[in-house]
């Protein structure tokens, strides 16, 4: 049976300045300069090197190196021999090192040259986020039998599980395929066992390997469905490979049984019932860490997303860690998964879009959470060869349908890609990135824009793949307006959008841009260069902006009250607005212990409070729930709360080659 050895520790890293340092992976060399602005973070080739001991293995076994994520291109060398090249910074790839290893117990010299240089063939090259270089996910050494479940097929797990069930059925049909490689693969037998969440077997079968694949179909009676956030129930499929009756390898995965479809008028349906998808988009980086996240960081992100009551996540704009896809399965999140085919079509990058799509689907096929595959994002922003771009999209769309007929395709269109643009009509469903009310004035334009879409394309499902506005927790105003980057305007914006979506059930999905602030080194906005501040939570995950609680009030069942403006302490007006977000039907507000008023309503409660001299203690109560803050009457506005005029909408990333 296969064994794994973790190789994360003890690497010698030779960085941009040519000096060597000892590091552990996950690691990126752009954790600081990729977040400080200037569009000048170092992009080039760096080297990781380490020794490892040849593991004990039999003559008929194979040994692989497994890399979970190396951005963006990697060349792998062992004991002086060049073994592999991989283009694509977000997916798993493996390297067969069996014939290059030294004898058992001896040291081997492993060198990985990692390159995130600018080029015209590996995506992404232009986008509103930092392309961190490095070995930023795990590295493992794998020993397996000479005849084994596939290790050379686009980094995949070697098995695919395809559940099928009608909306009203109680029995699921589950197709299980296992791909086998090695000298004795043909005629080998694969034993399949399906178990429930408690480990009890619910079905079993055997299949013989023919042309490299074993294929079995099983039935699960009285099936329990994967039913979104309310009941994300998961089964497990375990496959054992037997050669001449002797077990040689085993693989397993979890899977969920669910039906879903998308209706142009009524949106997303899960297991036969209307299930509006309302959630967030997520980038994978963090302050001072870049994309080199730990499992604990992934879990913290998921807990914050769950707290607001979201039921869907767009994992932008690339393949994310398997840790996070697993968390989505467990949490019942419906996922939009996509490749980094973004912002600008590169004619020389066509093969890279195809290989990244193959890897995305093969490596993530078994995740119950994934319901749509994304072809591209905002590809029309600066594309020059539209004919080649459209053909590339058609090829990708056909490829996805061939590889996975169970899930629809989608893509995200740029706001200026108007209603009849051909790229918006390639995929099965479509969505738009609209920032009406932020980059252009007028929140009401959302209604006008979607009205035209519905007039022209009533039978084509549409979603909102991105919408949002920037906010800094240190910027505030009692008269919030577009471009001021205040928490208060972010609240105004998102309150409008929440009401807007609530009245339009035809959206198959809506995704806030973004759950977390993230690094975009080409930006210089909001007084903090190198950042996109559209998150509901700050980059370091320490501050939940007030708009976070607006979503919690609309989506979450967890009882709470939240007083907005706690960071807006110094207020020059005598009578000030105090907003409270809550999912409770009634909220009372107190100032210095005196009742200001009691309101019944939904989601947002607005009170006007007269500020006396000095400090005023504000408290919101609803039953046993309470929250509060302290406000202070001042003579003049605090200048620290105002954004400098030169830091509003200037130097957007589209002004530069990101």
* Catalytic center residues: 378
Q: Which residues contact 391 (CB under 8 A, 6 or more apart)?
A: none
3-state helix, strand and coil shares in percent for the chain, rounded to the nearest 5? 20, 35, 45
Q: What is the 3-state secondary structure (H, E, C) of 567-592?
A: CCCEECCCEEEEEEEECCCEEEEEEC
Contact 470, 545 (CB under 8 A): no
Instruction: Name the nearest CA neighbour of 474 among 533, 518, 401.
Output: 533
Q: Show Cβ contacts of residue 47 under 8 Å, excluding neighbours closer than 6 positions.
A: 13, 14, 111, 112, 113, 114
Burial 75-91 (b: 16+ CB within 10 A, else e): bbbbeeeebbebbbbbb
For residues 410 and 408, give the distance between their C-alpha atoms in angstroms, rounded to a whole number: 7
User: 457-491 burial, b for 16+ CB within 10 Å, e for fewer?
Assistant: beebbbbbbbbbbbbbbbbbbbebebbbbbbbbbb
Please answer whether residues 222 and 170 qualify as being in contact, where contact means their C-beta atoms are separated by less than 8 angstroms.
yes
What's CA 334's distance to the chain center, in Å?
A: 11
142 phi and psi angles, rounded to 5 deg: -120, 130
With beta carbons less than 8 A apart as the criterion, state whether 407 and 372 touch: yes
Q: Torsions phi, psi of 206, nearest 5?
A: -130, 150
Rounded distance between C-alpha atoms, residue 495 and residue 335, angstroms? 24
Instruction: Give CA–CA dist 271/292, Å, rounded.
Output: 37
Q: Would you call the peptide bond into 124 cis, given omega within 30 degrees of 0 as the criterion?
A: yes
For the four alpha carbons of 227, 228, 229 and 233, in that order, the dihedral sign comes to positive
The helix (H) or strand (E) run that includes residue 87 is strand 81-87
What is the bridge-based pairing of β-strands 3-6 and 139-145? Answer: antiparallel
Q: How far is CA 19 from the centre of its chain?
A: 34
Among 295, 281, 15, 277, CA closest to 128: 281
Phi-psi region of 305 (alpha: psi -120 to 50; beta: other; left: phi over 0): alpha
Alpha-carbon distance of 379 to 390, in angstroms, equals 10
201-208/189-195 β-pairing? antiparallel
Q: Is residue 192 within 8 Å of 204, Cβ to Cβ?
A: yes
Q: How far is CA 333 from CA 312, 336, 371, 409, in A?
A: 5, 10, 10, 18
């Amino acid at each position: 049976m296969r064994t794994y050895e973790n190789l994360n520790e003890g690497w010698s890293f030779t960085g941009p300045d040519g000096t060597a340092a000892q590091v552990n992976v996950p690691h990126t060399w752009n954790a600081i300069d990729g977040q400080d602005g200037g569009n000048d973070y170092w992009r080039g080739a760096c080297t990781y090197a380490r020794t490892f001991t040849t593991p004990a293995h039999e003559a008929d076994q194979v040994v692989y190196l497994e890399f979970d994520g190396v951005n963006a291109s990697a060349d792998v060398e062992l004991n002086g021999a060049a073994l592999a090249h991989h283009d694509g910074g977000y997916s798993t790839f493996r390297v067969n090192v069996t014939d290059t290893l030294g004898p058992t117990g001896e040291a081997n010299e492993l060198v990985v040259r990692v390159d995130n240089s600018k080029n015209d063939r590996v995506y992404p090259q232009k986008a509103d986020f930092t392309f961190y270089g490095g070995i930023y996910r795990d590295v493992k050494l794998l020993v397996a039998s000479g005849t084994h479940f596939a290790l050379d097929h686009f980094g995949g797990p070697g098995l695919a599980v395809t559940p099928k069930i009608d909306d009203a059925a109680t029995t699921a049909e589950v197709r299980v395929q296992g791909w086998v490689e090695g000298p004795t693969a043909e005629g080998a037998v694969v034993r399949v066992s399906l178990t429930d969440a408690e480990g009890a077997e619910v079905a079993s079968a055997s299949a013989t390997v023919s042309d490299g694949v074993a294929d079995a179909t099983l039935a699960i009676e009285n099936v329990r469905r994967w039913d979104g956030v309310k009941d994300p129930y998961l089964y497990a499929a375990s496959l054992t490979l037997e050669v001449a009756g002797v077990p040689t390898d085993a693989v397993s995965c979890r899977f969920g049984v669910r039906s879903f479809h998308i209706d142009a008028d009524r949106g997303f349906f899960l297991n036969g019932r209307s299930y509006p998808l309302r959630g967030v988009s997520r980038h994978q980086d963090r302050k001072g860490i870049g994309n080199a996240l730990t499992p604990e960081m992934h879990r913290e992100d998921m807990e914050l997303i769950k707290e607001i009551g979201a039921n869907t996540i767009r994992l932008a704009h690339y393949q994310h860690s398997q840790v996070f896809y697993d968390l989505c399965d467990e949490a019942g999140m419906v996922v939009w998964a996509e490749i980094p085919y973004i912002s600008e079509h590169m004619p020389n990058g066509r093969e890279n879009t195809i290989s990244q799509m193959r890897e995305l689907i093969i490596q993530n096929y078994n995740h119950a959470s994934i319901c749509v595959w994304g072809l591209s994002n905002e590809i029309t922003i600066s594309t020059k060869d539209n004919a080649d771009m459209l053909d590339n999209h058609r090829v990708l769309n056909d490829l996805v349908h061939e590889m996975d007929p169970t899930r629809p395709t989608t893509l995200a269109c740029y706001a200026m890609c108007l209603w009849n643009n051909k790229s918006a009509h390639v995929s099965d469903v479509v969505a738009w990135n609209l920032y009406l009310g932020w980059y252009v004035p007028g929140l009401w334009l959302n209604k006008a824009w979607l009205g035209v879409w519905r007039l022209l394309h009533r039978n084509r499902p549409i979603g909102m793949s991105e919408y949002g506005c920037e906010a800094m927790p240190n910027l505030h105003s009692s008269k919030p307006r577009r471009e001021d980057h205040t928490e208060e305007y972010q609240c105004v914006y998102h309150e409008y959008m929440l009401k807007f979506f609530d009245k339009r059930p035809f959206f198959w999905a809506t995704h806030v841009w973004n759950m977390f602030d993230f690094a975009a080194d080409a930006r210089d906005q909001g007084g903090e260069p190198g950042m996109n501040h559209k998150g509901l939570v700050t980059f370091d995950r320490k501050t939940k902006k007030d708009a976070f609680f607006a979503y919690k009030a609309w989506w979450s069942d967890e009882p709470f009250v939240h007083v907005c403006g706690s960071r807006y302490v110094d207020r020059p007006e005598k009578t000030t607005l105090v907003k409270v977000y809550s999912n409770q039907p009634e909220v009372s507000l107190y100032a210095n212990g005196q009742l200001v008023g009691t309101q019944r309503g939904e989601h947002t409660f607005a009170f006007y409070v007269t500020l006396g001299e000095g400090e005023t203690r504000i408290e919101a109560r609803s039953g046993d729930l309470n929250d509060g803050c302290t406000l202070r009457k001042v003579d003049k506005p605090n200048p620290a709360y105002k954004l400098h005029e030169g830091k509003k909408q200037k130097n957007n990333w589209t002004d530069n080659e990101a």
